[in-house]
């Protein structure tokens, strides 16, 4: 194995990406694509089907949407290989091999899996599918199929990486030092709260600002943001620490500007309506370069498809090389 720095990361195409994704992971990826010898960003459509198995149209529709979001924030296809998970059969093959190395009990103990199963009760009821329970195995296949050395994740995803490392160690103990054991790159960025104050921003919660939102949509959403419930009149003294508008000022403006806004709020000299209008305009200007770049790709879908096709071809070549080494170690290299 070559001693290269290889990064792998990605998203499930279940919807357009929002500012939570941007501050949480996308900014990191733009930075990290310049720091690695190889960078792979997968569009995890197969994994998306684990809880959208009855809605394949949704997954298919959002593949291009996610890729356009990647390109609009600065992911460079010359530096990072963007590819489609379902078009890499080696990953599916590896998932089958690795399934023999992991017990059901171990999967059920994975904290991330336990949390997500609890969140998906409306999808599964009391019957969780094999595919959803086993997606950490599929994720291990994604990572090892490209010899990834680093995988950027948030704290909530760290148990999945630990399970991948366990699979790698078990495989290598049986077949020799074949696989790389990836390291975790923990994001320093915290999860962004929703406009309603929810700890999670998401499409299903209706509390997200999307990178593709129009000026009108951004303004409408910001005007609906939760503010200090105790502040009734314009000149009431506010409490910005419980106001989502102040929270977003902290994200989108300088420290000095945010402190000024909060100070005026506490003094009762800044009204909520005017404050929201200013915030909406600030977010609009902040996202303008992203929206303009995205608009270009929306008008040129053939370029998006070309990037995805070429990236998938390149990724397949890499996966084939790794699989050849794995099959040789497993004595499955018949007729070669």
Give tens-digit pLDDT for 295-308: 999 999 999 999 99
Q: What's the longest Cα–Cα distance across the chain? A: 82
pLDDT value at position 129? 87
Mean pLDDT of 263-288: 91
Kindly state the DSSP code that residue 210 receives in the 8-state scheme: B
pLDDT value at position 87? 97
Mean pLDDT of 217-224: 95
pLDDT in tens, 61-80: 999 999 999 999 999 999 99
Residue with more model confidence, 92 or 239: 92
SS3 state at 289: helix
pLDDT in tens, 231-245: 878 778 878 888 999
pLDDT in tens, 15-60: 999 999 998 889 989 999 999 999 999 999 999 998 899 999 999 9
- Is the pLDDT confidence value at 1 over 80? no
- The CATH class of 213-295 is mainly alpha
pLDDT value at position 304? 97
pLDDT in tens, 116-163: 888 777 767 778 888 889 989 999 999 999 999 999 987 778 888 999
| Sign of the alpha-carbon torsion through 223, 229, 235, 241 | negative
pLDDT value at position 189? 66
- Is residue 47 a contact partner of residue 85, using CB atoms and an 8 Å limit? yes
Structure token pair of residue 89: 């059969």
Mean pLDDT of 282-289: 96
At CB < 8 A and 24+ separation, what contacts does 166-169 make? 166/102, 166/106, 167/98, 167/101, 167/102, 167/137, 167/140, 168/140, 168/144
Mean pLDDT of 278-293: 96
CA-nearest of 288, 271, 111 to 214 is: 288
In the chain, % helix, strand, coil (3-state, to 5) comes to: 60, 10, 35
Percent above pLDDT 70 for the chain: 99
- At residue 264 the predicted structure's pLDDT band, cuts being 50, 70 and 90, is confident
Interatomic CA distance for residues 246 and 271, integer angstroms: 12
Give the E-state strand segments of the chain in sequence order.
6-11, 38-43, 81-84, 150-153, 183-186
Asked whether this chain's domains 6-193+301-329 and 213-295 adopt the same fold, the reply is no
- The CATH class of 6-193+301-329 is alpha beta
- Is the pLDDT confidence value at 95 over 90? yes
Ranges of each domain in the chain: 6-193+301-329, 213-295
pLDDT value at position 127? 81
| Sign of the alpha-carbon torsion through 273, 274, 278, 279 | negative
- Is the pLDDT confidence value at 179 over 90? yes
- Is residue 85 a contact partner of residue 59, using CB atoms and an 8 Å limit? no
- Is residue 89 a contact partner of residue 313, using CB atoms and an 8 Å limit? no
pLDDT value at position 59? 96
pLDDT in tens, 309-335: 999 999 999 999 999 999 999 999 998
pLDDT value at position 281? 96
Mean pLDDT of 254-279: 89
Interatomic CA distance for residues 226 and 224, integer angstroms: 6
Question: Rounded mean pLDDT of the chain?
Answer: 91
Interatomic CA distance for residues 252 and 65, integer angstroms: 24
DSSP conformation letters of 267-307: HT-S-HHHHHHHHHHHHHHHHHHHHHHHHHHHH-HHHHHHH
CA-nearest of 59, 54, 57 to 11 is: 59
Q: Scanning the structure block, which residue is given the tokens 């975790």?
A: 184
């Amino acid at each position: 194995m070559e001693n290269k720095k290889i990064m792998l990361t990605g998203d499930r195409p279940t919807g357009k990406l929002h500012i939570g994704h941007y501050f949480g992971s996308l900014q990191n990826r733009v930075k990290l694509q310049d720091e690695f010898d190889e960078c792979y960003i997968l569009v995890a459509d197969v994994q998306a089907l684990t809880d959208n198995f009855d809605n394949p149209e949704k997954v298919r529709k959002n593949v291009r949407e996610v890729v356009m979001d990647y390109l609009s924030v600065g992911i460079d296809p010359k530096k990072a290989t963007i590819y489609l998970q379902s078009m890499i059969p080696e990953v599916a093959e590896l998932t089958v091999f690795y399934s023999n190395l992991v017990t059901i009990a171990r999967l059920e103990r994975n904290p991330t899996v336990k949390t997500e199963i609890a969140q998906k009760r409306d999808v599964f009821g009391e019957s969780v599918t094999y595919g959803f329970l086993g997606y950490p195995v599929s994720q291990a296949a994604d990572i090892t199929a490209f010899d990834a050395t680093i995988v950027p994740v948030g704290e909530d995803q760290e148990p999945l990486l630990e399970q991948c490392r366990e699979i790698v160690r078990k495989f290598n103990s049986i077949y020799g030092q074949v696989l790389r054991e990836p390291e975790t790159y923990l994001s320093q960025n915290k999860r962004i709260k929703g406009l309603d104050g929810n700890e999670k921003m998401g499409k299903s919660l209706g509390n997200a600002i999307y990178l593709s939102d129009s000026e009108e949509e951004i303004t409408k959403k910001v005007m609906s943001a939760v503010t200090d419930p105790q502040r009734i009149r314009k000149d009431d003294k506010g409490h910005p620490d419980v106001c989502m508008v102040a929270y977003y000022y902290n994200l989108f403006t300088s420290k000095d500007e945010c402190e000024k806004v909060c100070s005026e709020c506490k003094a009762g000299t800044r009204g909520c309506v005017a404050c929201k209008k200013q915030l909406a305009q600030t977010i609009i200007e902040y996202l303008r370069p992203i929206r303009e770049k995205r608009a270009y790709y929306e008008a040129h879908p053939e370029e998006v498809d070309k990037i995805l096709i070429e990236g998938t071809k390149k990724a397949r070549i890499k996966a084939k090389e790794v699989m050849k080494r794995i099959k040789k170690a497993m004595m499955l290299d018949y007729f070669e």
